[in-house]
Amino acid sequence: MIMKVNGEERSLPQDGTVLGLLRELGHDPQRVAVEKNGSIVPRAAFAEEKLTDADHLEVVCFVGGG
């Protein structure tokens, strides 16, 4: 199954969750915001939020600096 992440097609993660996707992408779940189909996914729900091939996600990484 294929979904869209930041405008690019991508296979669903093994466990089918937002957290699984972030792990596959190498992102620290504490340092990103995720929007799924136009709605923000609360960080506390990453492990339970299921993904489907119809989903469109935007993953935004927080970058520190000065």
Kindly report, residue by residue over 42-64, the tens digit of the pLDDT.
999 999 999 999 999 999 998 77
Top-confidence residue, 63 or 1: 63
Q: How many residues in the chain? A: 66
Query: What would be the CATH architecture of the domain defined by 2-61?
Result: Roll (3.10)
The predicted model scores a pTM of 0.89
The whole-angstrom separation of Cα 49 and Cα 64 is 27
pLDDT, one tens digit per residue, over 2-56 is 899 999 999 998 899 999 999 999 999 999 999 999 999 999 999 999 999 999 9
10: burial class by Cβ within 10 Å (0-12, 13-18, 19+)? middle
